[in-house]
Amino acid sequence: MKEVFIGAANIITSLGFTTAENMERMKAGETGIRHWNDKSLSPVPFWASRIDDSLLQKIFSIYADPRDFTRFEQMVICSVMGALKNSSVPSGDKRTLFILSTTKGNIDLLKNDMVRPGEGNRIYLWKSAEALQNFFSFINRPLIISNACISGLMAIIAGSRYIRTGAFDHVIVTGADIVSEFVLSGFNSFLSLCDGPCRPFDKNRQGLSLGEGAGTIILSSSKPGKEESRQIRAGFGFTSNDANHISGPSRTGEGLYRAIRKTLEHNPVQVDYISAHGTATPYNDEMESIALTRAGLQSIPVNSFKGYWGHTLGAAGVIESIAGVYSLQENILFNTLGCNDPGTENPISVIGNTHKAEVKSCLKIASGFGGCNAALILHK
Amino acid sequence: MEQLIAKLKAEIIEVLNLTEMTPDDIDADKPLFVEGLGLDSIDALELIVLLEKKYGLKIGTAEEGKTVLRSVRSMADFITANNKG
Amino acid sequence: MRKEEYIISDFCIIRNNRAIVNGELIFSAPRHNTAAFLTALYRHLDVGYAKFFKMDSLCKLGFLASELILRKHDPILPDQADDTGLILANAASSIDSDRNHQRSIADHDAYFPSPSVFVYTLANIVAGEISIRHKLHGENAFFIDRQFDPVRMHAYATQLFDEDIIKRCLMGWVELDGDRYEAVLYFIQKSAGHKDGIAIFEPGKLNDIYLQGSDLWNN
């Protein structure tokens, strides 16, 4: 079995258009979650993390005509280009696969399509992926993973398996989702949006903040040429279903615990740091604390990135994994922004300030609607 | 009050897709959640939408919802108390 | 190169208001619309699962296909829950529920998004419903693709078999878009120690089965 080396990456969020920019602003304790009054997205004001539209258009215009691609696709293209810029991976090679992770893709087209059918056929994710394939001249048809909020992490796990088994030499994994009226209204009906920036693992957490983003991470079977000290590998990862409820997290953290257990069994490393899902809803964060405690990881430093970027759905697993890779490379642990007073019934070791720490491995976990859960080890 | 309770039972069956139940199957005083009808978290949220859509009454938090949605009768009391029944 | 041989032990096709398991017609209701057909099939099977009526049409379709196939096959035992995979794909994602949700927010003056509709605006919820019903805790995956691709699905499942992540698998295509729907599910397991399957687990056979159903429809 081959090793899976992590190469170039890119993050596009409200906090910047490169990984470096995002990391610098996070080190400075900035949040991208703002208050919005935008009737095109919601009849009532809301908090969310949104990408600067004019900046996106400006950057995208370097690559193609913005009229030919939707906002979601522009984000994906900018992110992939951002990663490829720092990579020698042959994107147009038959030994390279592109995996796209998204929950709702071009869902903002649905409104118009229902009035003028056929106008929004890029609502079909495979059609959108086709447009992306043509743009990049990928030889292989993109693999599209749409598995709720674990999509991004699942995409990295799937990509790693393809590399390990020798099916492909390189896998470009991109996760992306936009902030849309469709999703905002849905989470509103669940009463699960926070009236302010979200507070992961906080005693008084009240709900999540939505965010939009695109993240790209390139996996390879050969070392991308980095110095060994900065070379991070993707280990084994697993998914598991709670088999309990389609939206409510399992009270025993069943699926997440099983995914973590399988991950720990297969990766012969000690976990130095955990990047949790931490959406800041009362139930999710509690469920994660239960699963981590059952797995014996309650004393391992853990954080959530949702306070910086909001919940970026299909992008979350990718951009948060990139942040995990950065943490390992720089030996830094990020503060759980938004958490002032950790309070889950099962106490876990929430990271309360950004500081240097020697970390050799990171356990990344995620959970989503449909009872799905995923876990993966990233390590030096 | 009894008329409102009968109406609520029918509405509950409709919005929660309790297709194989009739209004007679629902006891107005038994708990709707945990025991009794054994409804779940999505059902609770759906009943909150029902109260707003059909009766113009807003429930802002899950906590408030717990009290109001305890039983069909507590829902009817809430509606009547707000002069909407 | 592969250590074990795998077989397609059972398959289920639901199309054109007909439900077929291992080539045998189980139920048909040609004149119903989709919603009525799915309910009629549910009642015919005497499932006794009230949550069925809360599901959207895509989930009802996937649920019934899994019900049919797992009735034919031996039930999944508790100690098999962790290594039974569930790999599904479709082209239209959850478009049916997406449209319903979009309708509920079309008018800002009558703005009542429904949580029980919104929760179904994710295609992988089908996998969730099947997992809940049959207590499956194993690897779940949901892919979007233009059409059923037996080569890709076979490769993905084989990878999981080869890495010993799963020992058996329920996989296939569950698609619903307006009036068009089809579900083709396969049960895959190791050949050793089991009854003869329908066929060897390989892309050509998956494709034959997928098309086999559609031939019938031309009668």
pLDDT interval class at C3 (50, 70, 90): low
Beta-carbon separation of C114 and B19 below 8 A: no
Q: What is the total count of domains within chain C?
A: 1
* Angstrom distance (rounded) from CA A232 to CA A217: 12
B66 reaches A (C-beta below 8 A): no
* Angstrom distance (rounded) from CA C113 to CA C160: 39
**What's the pLDDT at C192?**
74
Q: Between A146, A185, A244, which is nearest C144 by CB? A: A146
Task: State the amino acid at position C3 in one-letter form.
Answer: K
Provide the 3-class DSSP secondary structure of residue A77. helix
Q: Can you say whether residue C8 is alpha, beta or left, with left for phi > 0 and alpha for psi between -120 and 50 degrees?
A: beta
Distances from the Cα of A268 to the Cα of A300, A376, B43, C29, angstroms: 17, 13, 44, 55
Beta-carbon separation of C93 and A125 below 8 A: yes
Q: Between A43, A143, A238, which is nearest C111 by CB? A: A43
Distances from the Cα of C139 to the Cα of A346, C153, C154, C157, angstroms: 27, 14, 15, 10
A45 reaches B (C-beta below 8 A): no
The predicted-structure confidence for B2-58, as pLDDT tens digits, reads as follows 999 999 999 999 999 999 899 999 999 999 987 778 789 999 999 999 999 999 999
Which structure tokens are listed for A162? 């393809």
Beta-carbon separation of B40 and A190 below 8 A: no
Taking a contact as any Cβ pair under 8 Å apart, which residues of chain A between 223 and 262 contact chain B?
Answer: 245-248
Provide the 3-class DSSP secondary structure of residue A3. coil
Nearest chain B alpha carbon to A191:
B61
Beta-carbon separation of C162 and A247 below 8 A: no
Q: Which residues on A lie below 8 Å from B61 (Cβ)?
A: 191
Q: Between C103, C125, C140, which is nearest A369 by CB? A: C125
Q: Which residues on C lie below 8 Å from A181 (Cβ)?
A: 105
**What's the pLDDT at B75?**
95
**What's the pLDDT at A2?**
87
Residue ranges of the alpha helices (H) in A190-312? Answer: 254-266, 282-294, 306-309
Spatial CB neighbours of C208, under 8 Å, sequence gap ≥ 6:
C199
A44 reaches B (C-beta below 8 A): no
Q: Which residues on B lie below 8 Å from A246 (Cβ)?
A: 42
pLDDT interval class at C212 (50, 70, 90): confident
What is the nearest CA distance from B53 to chain A, expressed in angstroms?
A: 12
CB C217 within 8 Å of CB C20? no
Q: Which residues on C lie below 8 Å from A240 (Cβ)?
A: 82, 137-140
Nearest chain C alpha carbon to B39:
C51
* Angstrom distance (rounded) from CA A264 to CA A242: 18
Is residue C79 domain-resident?
A: yes
Residue C99: which domain range? 6-216
State which residues of chain A have pLDDT below 70: 118-120, 226
Domains and CATH numbers, chain B: 2-76 (1.10.1200.10)
- Chain B residues at the C interface, defined by Cβ less than 8 Å, are 16-20, 42-43, 45-46, 49, 52-53
Q: Which residues on B lie below 8 Å from C116 (Cβ)?
A: 16-17, 42-43, 45-46
**What's the pLDDT at C194?**
65
B61 reaches A (C-beta below 8 A): yes
Which structure tokens are listed for C179? 């009036």
Is residue C156 domain-resident?
A: yes
Beta-carbon separation of B49 and C115 below 8 A: yes
**What's the pLDDT at A270?**
96
Q: How many residues does chain B have?
A: 85
CATH number (domain holding residue C176): 3.40.47.10
Q: What angle do CA A242, A246, A247 make, to 5 degrees?
A: 100
Whole-model pTM?
A: 0.96
Q: Which residues on B lie below 8 Å from A245 (Cβ)?
A: 40-41
Q: Which residues on A lie below 8 Å from C54 (Cβ)?
A: none
Chains that touch A (3 or more CB pairs under 8 A): B, C
**What's the pLDDT at A226?**
64
B62 reaches A (C-beta below 8 A): yes
* Angstrom distance (rounded) from CA A332 to CA A327: 5
Beta-carbon separation of C143 and A369 below 8 A: no
Q: Between C98, C134, C145, which is nearest A107 by CB? A: C98
Q: Which residues on B lie below 8 Å from C113 (Cβ)?
A: 49
Q: Which residues on B lie below 8 Å from C114 (Cβ)?
A: 46, 49
Q: How many residues does chain A have?
A: 380
* Angstrom distance (rounded) from CA C153 to CA C144: 11
Beta-carbon separation of A189 and B45 below 8 A: yes
Long-range contacts of A32-39 (CB under 8 A, 24+ apart): A32/A211, A32/A308, A32/A309, A32/A310, A33/A197, A33/A198, A33/A209, A33/A211, A33/A307, A33/A309, A33/A310, A39/C108
Domains and CATH numbers, chain A: 5-220 (3.40.47.10), 232-379 (3.40.47.10)
C78 reaches A (C-beta below 8 A): no
Q: Which residues of A are catalytic?
A: 149, 277, 311
Beta-carbon separation of A247 and B42 below 8 A: yes
Nearest chain A alpha carbon to B59:
A191
Task: State the amino acid at position B12 in one-letter form.
Answer: I
Please state, rounded to an integer, the average pLDDT across all residues of chain C. 92
* DSSP code at position A331: T
A123 reaches C (C-beta below 8 A): yes
DSSP string, C120-157: TSSTTHHHHHHHHHHT--S-EEEEE-SS--HHHHHHHH
Q: What share of chain C is helix, strand, coil (3-state, %, to 5)?
A: 40, 25, 35
How big is the A-C interface in CB pairs under 8 Å? 154
- The answer, yes or no, to whether residue C82 has pLDDT greater than 60, is yes
Is residue C1 domain-resident?
A: no
**What's the pLDDT at C97?**
97
Is residue C48 domain-resident?
A: yes
* Angstrom distance (rounded) from CA A237 to CA B51: 44
- What's the Rg (C-alpha) of chain B? 12
A111 reaches C (C-beta below 8 A): yes
Chains that touch B (3 or more CB pairs under 8 A): A, C
**What's the pLDDT at A118?**
67
Is residue C57 domain-resident?
A: yes
Is residue C77 domain-resident?
A: yes
Give backbone dihedrals phi and psi of C180, rounded to 5 degrees, phi first: -90, 130
Q: Between C50, C113, C115, which is nearest B20 by CB? A: C50
Is residue C61 domain-resident?
A: yes
Is residue C210 domain-resident?
A: yes
